Structure 1
Amino acid sequence: MGSLTSPYGVKGWLKVYSHTSPMEGILEYDRWTVDKDGVERVYEVLQGRRQGKGLVVQLAGVASREAAEALGGATIKLATDELPRLSAGEYYWYQLEGLKVTTIDGVELGRVDHLLETGANDVLVVKGGPDGKERLLPFLPDEVIERIDLETGEMRVDWDPEF
């Protein structure tokens, strides 16, 4: 959902990098699971607001600059049951990451490593195929994306494996 980047001020506030759209969407959640170096802890969000071009937040139990510094670089996670339900054919990025990608002709391209937001459409970064290529596939349902099966962990695409 985002990350805590650095302290803001001296009273424990933190700068937030949000992966949500709009970016303020992350502030709608009352509790965040914060992962710092593989150690997870749940924090209550006391306050949050837009500050300049970004966001800042105050978490319960983080009352000093030093405490905020200790959380710099941590990842913000949410329980999946807290996320809004999506309509049919809509997916969260985390659901697509790791899916095996094959063409409609059965050629394996690799797995979805991560996604990029470009403005026009999201882009799948596919890595780890037999040919070792990294591919950038536009996430365009019914044009490029033929089928997504979350249960089997597979995605079928209409894509030339030479690209």
Structure 2
Amino acid sequence: MRRAKLISVGKVVGAHGIKGVVKVLSLTDFPERFRERKRLVFYGEGDSVVFEGDLEDLWMEGNLLFIKIKGCETRDMAESLIGSTIKIKEEELKPLGEGEFYFHQIIGLRVYTDNGIYLGKIVDIIRTGANDVFCVKGKREYMIPALKKVVKEVDLKRGVMVIVPIEGLLE
């Protein structure tokens, strides 16, 4: 039986207070997803489950979430979860609109120009506020803006992105 693909949605970065609250850096554009979940699963190295428990309370401050989970009752227990990652099964992801993609779907795509020139693979995505930027690594490194006028096609089945280079992009 094939194991479900797991997607990271949060990383434990600290403990808060003395009652087992964990401080979580949200890795999702949908932090409200945490409120919708009854049970959270924390993973360590090699996708091994290190803790799971029912959500008791949650509040947000910026991109940090403060989460109280049943069974995590002390600061020491919360500190033991630092470095672990909250993950969900890929099929639990919220559906996106036409032309929208999750980062994990984009990273690894092969990038070609509309003339068929291979540039490399997307190795990272930088959030700039105005628009995301795809970091493409091949013989050279390119910073491709995630703009409709630049990204002509994304074909997840083929693992390909086709771009129309704007002036100066490939120089």
TM-score range, shorter chain: 0.7 to 0.9
Name stretches of at least 5 consecutive residues in structure 2 with no aligned partner. Answer: 1-8
Percent of pairs with identical residues: 34
Q: Distance in 2 between matches of 1:40 and 1:152?
A: 31
Number of residue pairs matched by the alignment: 159
Q: In structure 2, which of residues 19, 38, 45 is the aligned counterpart of residue 30 of structure 1?
A: 38
Give 1:125's aligned amino acid.
C
- Residue range with higher mean Cα deviation, 22-31 or 88-97: 22-31
Q: Determine the C-alpha separation between the residues in 2 that align with 1:77 and 1:98.
A: 20
Matched, 1:108 2:118: yes
Determine if the alignment matches structure 1 residue 71 to structure 2 residue 78: no
SS of equivalent residue, structure 1 residue 11:
coil
In structure 1, the partner of 2:170 is: 162
Aligned letter for 1:102?
Answer: Y
Q: Are the structure 2 counterparts of residues 38 and 159 from structure 1 closer, same or farther at C-alpha, using a change threshold of 3 Å?
A: same
Q: How far is the alpha carbon of 1:99 from its aligned partner?
A: 0.9
Q: In structure 1, what is the equivalent of residue 19 of structure 2?
A: 11
Q: Which amino acid aligns with 1:155?
A: M
Matched, 1:50 2:60: yes
Change in 2 beyond 3 A, CA 1:52/1:99: closer
Range with bigger deviation, 94-103 or 77-86: 77-86
Which residue of 2 is the match for residue 21 of structure 1? 29
Q: How far off is 1:43 after superposition?
A: 3.8
Q: Is 1:90 aligned with 2:100?
A: yes
> CA offset at residue 89 of structure 1?
0.9
Work out whether residues 18 and 24 of structure 1, in 8 Å CA contact, stay in contact via their aligned partners in 2. Answer: no
CA contact (8 A) 1:148 1:156 kept: yes
Report the 3-state secondary structure (helix = DSSP H, G, I; strand = E; otherwise coil) of the residue aligned with 2:76.
Answer: helix
TM-score by length of 1: 0.84
Task: Classify the secondary structure of the residue corresponding to 1:124.
Answer: strand
Alpha carbons of structure 1 residues 152 and 43: separation in structure 2 relative to 1, 3 Å = farther
User: Mind listing any 5+ residue stretches in structure 1 that lack a counterpart?
Assistant: none
